[in-house]
Amino acid sequence: MKYYLLVLVLCLINITHTQNCTHTFLGEVKDFHDGTPMSGATVYLETLNKYVAADINGKFTIKNLCNGALVLVISHVGCDTKRIEVEINGDSYKEINMEHHIEELHEIKVSGEAPKKLTKTAQETQLSTKTIERFSALNLGDVLKQVSGVSSINTGNSIVKPVINGLHSSRISVIINGVLLQDQEWGIEHAPNIDLNTAGTINVIKGANALAYSGDAIGGVVILKPKNIISKDSLYGKTIFGAQTNGRGYNVASSLTKTWKKGWFINGQASMKRFGDFKAPNYILTNTGVNTKGFNINTGFKTFEKGFNINYSYLNNEIGILRAAHIGSINDLVDAINSGNPIVIEDFSYDINAPRQDVTHQTLKAEFYKRFKRFGRFQIQYDFQDNQRYEYDIRRNDDDKPAIDLNLKTHSVRANLKLDANTNTVYNFGVHTRYQNNFANPDTGIRRLIPDYDRYDIGVFAISNLKWDEKTNLNFGIRYDFNKINAQKFYLTSRWLERNYSDEFNDIITGSVFGKDIQNGVIDFNASQLLTNPVYNFHNVSVSAGISRKISKNQSILFNYGLSQRSPNPSELFSDGLHHSAARIELGDLRIEQEKSNRFGGTYQLNSSKLDLNLEGFLNHIKDFIQLIPFGTEQTIRGAFPVWNYVQTDALLFGFDLSTTYKINERWNLNNKSSFIKGRDTKAKTALIDMPSFRTTNVLGYTNKRWLNFNASLESEWVLRQNDFPDFNFETLNPTTQQMVLVDISTPPPAYHLLHFRSDITLPISKKTKLNIGLTVLNVLDTSYREYLNRLRYFADDLGRNFMLQIKLNY
């Protein structure tokens, strides 16, 4: 037997010696974008357990190889490590491309560090995951107020709309997960339907300098990006639970993500909030509860070179509106203004009764991208949005029947090509098409405020980002948008004649109600209502230009200019009736034209070891600025109501935003955010309505990592009285007393000062699991105050003291 074994061994030795192991493999490591050699790349030969290094030309050689598989692991500073398998069959060669300018993979840590800014020459501020999580129980408008120059216009405490440098609603575009939000944003009391818990970072870009996202964002763009995906086999998640005393409610949000090394991933997220009546310092704010629930599912495949994802989100908001804010006539408004307390104060309740809103927003998105060597990145996306809005008024017989029932469906397709082979000159081209249908249910028993309409949009843009030298960056962009609105609307004949529409718009009348149809071009103005078909075509051009310059190691400046045009929205054109949740009659105007904005901005930045300072200034001239202003009163079957008209003027807005952080030592720091803005009607030479007051916030912070990563801060918020305001007060007849009474809807409330306290600790549960416990106290001194930009300031004080406990578990 031993002779057979000896023969076998000799045969194996002979086979080994006769195998040809003299082959050579030549590898060349190049940049994926521009093909430049990547010198100093490290190559680990996994098969042979040894290392080689690429030379100055990015080349490396491996000799004395046998035929078969060779596994290489290539790494380079600033690149994602790449593992490849090469089949050796004689002398071989392979070009290996590495991504040296990673954009999609910045945020690879579960901890959620923020990626770099989206622009280099715009006035942009970024909010990190940690900041967003702190506002898990609140709204988008609340968290955005952490940005200097951003305030909010409120309807109570739960309907919060962001205001950027004095502009809001349709002048601000909100992008969430790459989708331009379409959710009836025209109404002041229509808050963005967004679940903050789906966002990983938020970028706020002031002015119309983000043409890749929107062309009519005269005020700015808010971009919410989801948490990034880890490219490895992993399973991780997060749960946030919160409870608060004011509203006696809770909120919970949880997410779980599964990723695979090859690039596949799936993520699920769900959240809910439930609060009862909130409380001012001295009384309950009856019928102000909130009930919110939503979820998000995202799945797909992601590598550097290609990928796709499919995302679906659902969000339902049921929001109570202060019962005392419901008025039956102008006299109720006078009584509310003259009364120190709300007219209706009841015991605490979780019930949400009329007046209330019930809004459901659904989004479906599908996206695909592909990178091409030495060229760039192509992306195409389709998204569908369905927004169902119900607004319930207090009725004598049927509170469960909505006074407003609007359904908005939006289909969008966007394609984008980014040419970044030369990283010093990056070009971005794109096209965006959208079709939108709005259906206003006529079966509400109430005259429809907004009509049925179809809207068609197409936009094309081109943007260049140039690196002039090591200290200077330039940006140029241009965008063209075409908008078409095709509406079907009934007008009361009396309203049609009252607004002198017959002088210009008789050609859009297509029929009538309870009268004769149009025959031989003759219109029956004896009919009660006229059916019209207004069709509008708008052509908008937007231009942006910017420059940033590093003037020293710690200092930089930037200047930008934006020209933008915004088409009027359907509310500004067609509003015609009683807006119940706003308790006023709103009238659009068929003559309204596009707004044209010229905005100039400048920024000075200082970043040193002790002091970080960001000072921004802006000047925005808007021709044909559209504003909604009070005009008088009108008698209805329910009584007299204020009448608000959409009108146009020329406006000039200017101001500055300051943000500073001073590091006293390793544990103590000071932070200040201040904003000043003026808005003038240059035609009437008066102030613009609804301009934010001067606001300054100072924060004293303390941190001690030895005390379970303890953090604490005391925040002082000081808001001055708005002394520059238009006087739209008017008198009306009180039918009860038969006397004229003053309706003071213009005079702002006094200045106020609030204190807030925040603290948190982090407990390590295991190597990968951490528990964060935070306590926040808002309005520590339980101060009574009224905010000028809160629509309900006529009826009640703002919120009193609120203790908020938050428990966050990362796993």
Contact 90, 23 (CB under 8 A): yes
With CA atoms as reference, report the closest residue to 626 among 667, 693, 665, 570.
570
Mean pLDDT of 199-217: 87
Averaged pLDDT, 327-355: 86
Integer angstrom CA distances of residue 214 from 170, 210, 217, 458, 565: 11, 7, 6, 11, 11
Q: What is the pLDDT of residue 398?
A: 66
Task: Say which residue, 16 or 227, is predicted with more confidence.
Answer: 227
What are the helix and strand counts (H, E) for the chain?
Answer: 6, 46
At 727-767, the pLDDT tens digits run 988 887 776 777 888 888 899 999 999 999 999 999 999 88
pTM for this one? Answer: 0.89
Compute the distance between CA of residue 762 and CA of residue 760 in angstroms, rounded to an integer. 7
Question: 523 vs 496, 499, 782, CA distance in Å?
Answer: 12, 17, 62
The whole-number pLDDT of residue 113 equals: 41
pLDDT in tens, 552-574: 999 999 999 999 999 999 999 99
Residue 107 has pLDDT above 50, yes or no: no
User: Nearest to residue 456, comparing CAs of 412, 416, 510?
Assistant: 412
Secondary element (H or E) of residue 496 = helix 493-498
What pLDDT does 272 receive? 96
Token output for 298: 């995202």
Torsional sign, CA 276, 281, 283, 286: negative
Q: Which secondary structure element, helix H or strand E, spans residue 18, and what is its range?
A: helix 2-18
Rounded to the nearest 5°, which phi and psi values hold at 50?
A: -155, 170
Which residue type is seen at 428?
N
Q: Which residue, chain included where needed, has tokens 């909030």?
A: 273
pLDDT surpassing 80 at residue 609 = yes
For residues 292 and 115, the model is more confident at: 292
Average pLDDT score, the chain: 89
Q: Answer for the pair 645, 629: CB distance below 8 angstroms, yes or no.
A: yes
Strands 529-532 and 509-513 turn out to be antiparallel
Q: Which domains does the chain carry?
A: 2-98 (2.60.40.10), 116-223 (2.170.130.10), 224-262+281-810 (2.40.170.20)
What integer pLDDT is reported at residue 511 of this predicted model?
84
Contact by Cβ (8 Å): 791, 154: yes
Asked if residues 338 and 331 have their Cβ atoms less than 8 Å apart, the reply is: no
CA angle, residues 736, 741, 746, in degrees to nearest 5: 135
Q: What is the DSSP string of 704-734?
A: ETTTTSEEEEEEEEEE----------EEEEE
Closest alpha carbon to 575 in 587, 593, 567: 587
The model's confidence at residue 805, banded by pLDDT at 50, 70 and 90, is very high
Q: Up-side HSE of residue 551: CA atoms within 13 Å toward CB? A: 11
Q: Where are the alpha helices (DSSP H) in 558-714?
A: 570-574
Contacts of 321 (CB under 8 A, 6+ apart): 155, 156, 159, 189, 287, 288, 355, 356, 357, 581
Give the mean model confidence (pLDDT) for residues 11-37: 71
The C-alpha atoms of residue 618 and residue 205 are separated, in whole angstroms, by 13
pLDDT digits (tens, 9 = 90+) for 396-428: 776 688 988 999 999 999 999 999 888 889 999
Kindly indicate the confidence band of residue 516, based on its pLDDT and cuts at 50, 70 and 90: low
The DSSP symbol for 501 reads G
CA 153 – CA 305 distance, rounded (Å): 43
pLDDT tens string 699-730: 999 999 999 999 999 999 999 999 999 998 88
**Tens digits of per-residue pLDDT, 454-475?**
999 999 999 999 999 989 999 9
Query: Does residue 329 carry a pLDDT above 90?
Result: no
In this predicted structure, the answer to whether residue 7 has a pLDDT above a threshold of 60 is no
Amino acid at 432: H
**Is pLDDT of 279 > 80?**
yes
Considering only CA atoms, give the Rg of the chain. 31
Residue of higher predicted confidence among 97 and 353: 353
Interval 772-781: pLDDT, tens: 999 999 999 9
Distance CA 697, CA 672 (A): 6
Strand 92-98, strand 23-31: pairing: parallel
